[in-house]
Amino acid sequence: MTGDRTNKRAFSIGFRTSIITVFVGVVLLVGLTLVYLSFERVTAITRTAASGFIEKVAQLGADHVDEQFKNVRDNLDILSSLPPIQEADIVDNSRLYSLMAAMLRNNPQLFNLYVGYEDGSFIEMDVIDRAKPAFRASLKVDRDAAFRLVVISRTAGSAPVTQYLSENLIQVAEVAGSTGYDPRQRRWYVEAFENDKTLLTGPYVFYATGEPGYTLRTPLKEGRRGVAAGDVLLNRFEDMLAQQKLGPSGLAFLFNDAERIVGHPEMNRLMAEIPERQDDLPQLGALRLPALAPIIRSWRDGGPAQQFFDDAAGRTYIAAVHRLETAGSANVRLAMVAPLDEFYAQIIDERRTLFALALAFVGATLPFAFWLGSLMAQPLRKLVEETDAIQRFEIAERPRIHSVIAEIEELGRSVFTMRSVVRSFASFIPRQIVQQLIETGSSLSLGGSRREVTVLFTDVADFTAKTERTDPSQVMIYTSRYFAALSDEIMRHHGTIDKYIGDAVMAFWNAPADDPDHTINACRAILACLAANDALNKEFRREGWPPYDTRFGLHVGDAVVGNIGSSDRMNYTALGATINLASRLEGLNKNYGTRVLVSAAVRARVGDAFLFRSVDSIKPKGFADAIEVSELRGEFARSNEADVAMCRRWDEVFASIVRDGPAETTLVRLSGFLLDHPKDEIALFHAQRFRSSAHDAGATA
């Protein structure tokens, strides 16, 4: 029972702590809920705003890229309308070269301009330093060379020539051109006639530089049949795309239907990371955003152009995809990606501020919560202590507990009444029974059970003769003091007071509560009662009251223990031969001149813990076998050597009495014992028995 109660308390919480916890919890719940709802609402609004905003930014970015391509297209239209171009007057035409150089200077996104004709003629002007430094190194030309001019004229029959011109178009060097190059076999030339509405071809790796880029081309409208074109290197888009990003972590890039990245702010790095490159473009996976590819596929299949996704770290992003009008069959698209939290970083900061304010408010109210909890918990804590004390049977008078709270005031009155009732109830019923009823919550009922108990009977020698002529009220006062002294010692040693019978006391151990050491506790209780009795008798003598000399009888055995009587009035007691024998042992004390007699069962049960001496062997009525009776002298560990030696010597004499009867050797031993202990009542009893036996035998003879 105690263990169960302890386990339950392990999961309990104090009243003051409960009040504070509830108070703080409510404040936190309300405050944080409002903060959460506000943040969720703002987040939803921000998502909507972010979706619309990134769409507009993507549109502007796509328009900007388209504008770059359109500027190139316009220059191609101008170039194709020039008479020298229409007439294929491309050899030694300084005016044409100046116009082409001017177009290149005015369009920094262009790497070169070139025209191819149906007879295989070809003119190309490159801006050398717009390619990677490796391109210039591969040409092995002077640093003054700014332009590379390649001319192939099939009509004039001249050999292909490559000239390197300075910024002012002064020839720096001239080398023989490649005889194997035929513009009519290149994609930009062939596709221009297949779909003359498509401006863009690519991206692909350029023959001259080995770098990826786009070709913008348009067929010649008049004059010789041919195609005018210009190349835009992908690295020219890096700065432009870097300017289009949103926030510190945003990204704008170009991709095609093959899920290849064709333009990126760090295109050179992505190209360098491609294993075994083989003139390929990086895939979308190089961006390390796995959720981005499914979003692009969803958009391609008709899904929304703006979608949200989370990266591996749980960060939320928004992505927008937009078409490029000038891309045509190249199917180049613009994608923009940005972390959503960067759209509302200020809102997050304000949410943290709100959260901090909520915590500050809770912290400011904690002293009030502690004060309120303490005010309510203090009387409750006292009431708990009161009920615990009642359960421990500490039922001394205490003042009533009061509180300004009506319910606690009423509870204090109930506990005060309960203490008074239990104190009165315990005066008539053994305390162990009352305590058991309190712990279990059960009620008294008739019935009993068989169990082993150690039973004690006491009686005051010559009580009637001492009190018959004294004032009855005084008899009640002094006898009550006597009963209190013995009862305290019995209960202190875990005994149960059964009843008071005149001047006698009946008590037992191991009921109602289990006591594995009940016989030892009973022996110790008797010794404590003897000491209390002697101390009380000294007080009685000083007060002029006759001493109460108590005799004790103790036996252990089975008995029926329980409630007997009627449903209106019952008594918790023990019944059986064990009780009768204990009572019989108490009465035998006056025969032997002893104060404490115990049965052989008691002596065997406690072993060497106590000092005993054998007294007699009796055969009480109702018992088939004789019962060995012993005198309890004290605890063995506290006995002096003389008393221990006397008891051992007497046990040897008694063994001879039992074994040999009134033989000569027995009489010699008995006489020797009496010589050393002439006033020993037990030895005198047996000596008198032998004399009586001898007298009876002589009379018969």
Number of residues assigned to the chain: 701
Distances (CA, A) of 186 to 43, 80, 183, 332, 472: 53, 19, 5, 20, 141
Percent of the chain with pLDDT over 70: 78
Residues 401, 16: Cα–Cα separation, whole Å: 18
Q: Find which of 45-49, 257-261, 292-296, 619-623 is predicted with most confidence, using mean pLDDT.
A: 292-296
Q: How confident is the model at residue 114 (pLDDT cuts 50, 70, 90)?
A: very high
Note whether 249 and 338 are within 8 A (CB): yes
- For the cut 70, the answer to whether the pLDDT of residue 113 exceeds it is yes
- For the cut 50, the answer to whether the pLDDT of residue 442 exceeds it is no
For 317-342, what is the mean pLDDT? 77
- For the cut 90, the answer to whether the pLDDT of residue 585 exceeds it is yes
For 625-652, what is the mean pLDDT? 93
Q: What are residue 357's phi and psi, to 5 degrees?
A: -65, -40
- For the cut 70, the answer to whether the pLDDT of residue 422 exceeds it is no
Could you tell me whether strands 333-339 and 316-323 are parallel, antiparallel, or unpaired per DSSP bridges? Answer: antiparallel
pLDDT tens-digit map of 250-287: 788 888 777 788 777 877 777 777 766 555 678 888 88
Place domain 64-342 in its CATH homologous superfamily. PAS domain (3.30.450.20)
- For the cut 70, the answer to whether the pLDDT of residue 351 exceeds it is no
- 334 against 436, higher pLDDT: 334
Residues 76, 188: Cα–Cα separation, whole Å: 13
What was the pLDDT predicted at 7? 47
pLDDT tens-digit map of 672-694: 999 999 999 999 999 998 888 77
Q: Which CATH architecture has domain 444-639?
A: 2-Layer Sandwich (3.30)
The residue whose two tokens read 């109660």 is 5
- 599 against 252, higher pLDDT: 599
Q: Report which residue type is found at 287.
A: L
Query: Partners of 496 in the beta sheet?
Result: 508
- For the cut 70, the answer to whether the pLDDT of residue 437 exceeds it is no
Distances (CA, A) of 376 to 202, 362, 370, 389, 403: 82, 20, 10, 21, 8
Nearest one of 245, 188, 228 to 64, comparing CA atoms: 245
Minimum mean pLDDT among 21-25, 468-472, 489-493: which range?
Answer: 21-25
For 19-36, what is the mean pLDDT? 69
Q: Report which residue type is found at 699.
A: A
What was the pLDDT predicted at 168? 92
Residues 627, 424: Cα–Cα separation, whole Å: 41
pLDDT tens-digit map of 364-409: 776 776 776 676 667 777 777 777 766 666 666 777 777 666 767 7
Q: How confident is the model at residue 528 (pLDDT cuts 50, 70, 90)?
A: very high
Common-topology check for domains 64-342 and 444-639: no
Minimum mean pLDDT among 175-189, 341-355, 523-537, 597-611: which range?
Answer: 341-355
For 563-592, what is the mean pLDDT? 86
For 555-574, what is the mean pLDDT? 83
Q: How confident is the model at residue 492 (pLDDT cuts 50, 70, 90)?
A: very high
Residues 662, 670: Cα–Cα separation, whole Å: 10
- Provide the whole-model pTM: 0.47
Minimum mean pLDDT among 58-72, 226-240, 412-426, 566-580: which range?
Answer: 412-426
Angle at 580 (CA atoms; ends 574, 584), nearest 5 degrees = 140
Q: How confident is the model at residue 4 (pLDDT cuts 50, 70, 90)?
A: very low
The residue whose two tokens read 């009040």 is 19
- Count of CB atoms situated within 10 Å of the CB of 169: 16
Instruction: Say if residue 290 is preceded by a cis peptide, omega within 30 of 0.
Output: no
**Residue-range domain boundaries for the chain:** 64-342, 356-426, 444-639, 641-700
For 132-149, what is the mean pLDDT? 88
Q: How confident is the model at residue 146 (pLDDT cuts 50, 70, 90)?
A: very high
Instruction: Say if residue 133 is preceded by a cis peptide, omega within 30 of 0.
Output: no
Q: What are residue 317's phi and psi, to 5 degrees?
A: -120, 155
